[in-house]
């Protein structure tokens, strides 16, 4: 199976091969070095997350614009979401944030339930940042994806918050809610 995303081409075989696609609007040399740099960052953060106890695929190989990684067999979280899973996602995101890893795209599409563990599979937009704002935005992106995908999004959001607060900071949750408010304010002004 081949999955064509915005940034990458992902081949799902016995292993998963994720290759960052060239962007034609960028100068060739700049594009190449950017892709190599981002691919390295992605591989590094997948491994760093795994070391601190957040399930991620094992990185098997890294070459320029391509990551070869372990295939995770399981159910995409978008197809099995419930409160218990959202609470566990909260715990795991707090763990990432304790190491200042910002995932950048926490959505049910980018997580897989396998052997009762939730794997984060897509670190394509991840980066390191210790600020509350970066962590708040990270959580906000997840809340938005819940709203877009599930009728019981409020319950799922509250379960996430419970899980997050077991070890994570209240300031981050407060900031995520403020960011939502900012968004609403802009929406009202644009009406």
Ligand X SMILES: Nc1ncnc2c1ncn2[C@@H]1O[C@H](COP(=O)(O)OP(=O)(O)OP(=O)(O)O)[C@@H](O)[C@H]1O
Residues 48, 94, 121, 141: which binds ligand X (CB under 6 A)?
121
Pattern 106-125, binding to Mg ion, x per CB under 5 A?
----x-----------x---
Is 55 one of the binding residues for ligand X (CB under 6 A)? no
d(CA 161, CA 182): 20
C-alpha torsion angle, residues 146, 149, 155, 160 (rounded to 10): -30
Is 136 one of the binding residues for ligand X (CB under 6 A)? no
- Least Å from the CB of residue 56 to ligand X: 8
Q: Which is nearer to Mg ion, 83 or 150 (CB)?
A: 150
Q: Specify the residue for token string 């419930």.
A: 82
Q: How far is CA 93 from CA 26, 65, 139, in A?
A: 33, 27, 8
Rounded CA Rg of the chain: 17
Q: In the complex, which residues of this chain contact ligand X (CB under 6 A)?
A: 3, 5-8, 10, 12, 16, 18, 57, 69, 71-72, 76, 105, 109-110, 112, 121-122, 124-125
């Amino acid at each position: 199976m081949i999955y064509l995303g915005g940034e990458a081409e992902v081949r799902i075989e016995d292993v998963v091969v994720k290759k960052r696609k060239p962007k034609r609007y960028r100068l060739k040399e700049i594009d190449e070095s950017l892709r190599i740099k981002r691919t390295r960052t992605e591989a590094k953060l997948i491994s760093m997350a795994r070391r601190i106890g957040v399930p991620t695929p094992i990185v098997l190989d890294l070459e320029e614009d391509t990551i070869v990684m372990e295939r995770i067999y399981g159910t995409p979280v978008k197809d099995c979401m419930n409160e218990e899973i959202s609470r566990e996602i909260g715990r795991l995101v707090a763990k990432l944030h304790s190491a200042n890893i910002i995932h950048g795209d926490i959505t049910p599409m980018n997580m897989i339930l396998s052997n009762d563990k939730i794997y984060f599979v897509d670190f394509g937009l991840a980066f390191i940042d210790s600020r509350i704002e970066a962590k708040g935005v990270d959580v906000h992106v997840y809340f938005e994806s819940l709203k877009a995908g599930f009728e019981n999004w409020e319950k799922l959001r509250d379960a996430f918050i419970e899980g997050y607060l077991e070890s994570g900071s209240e300031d981050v949750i407060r900031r995520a809610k403020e960011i939502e408010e900012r968004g609403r304010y802009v929406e009202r002004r644009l009406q």
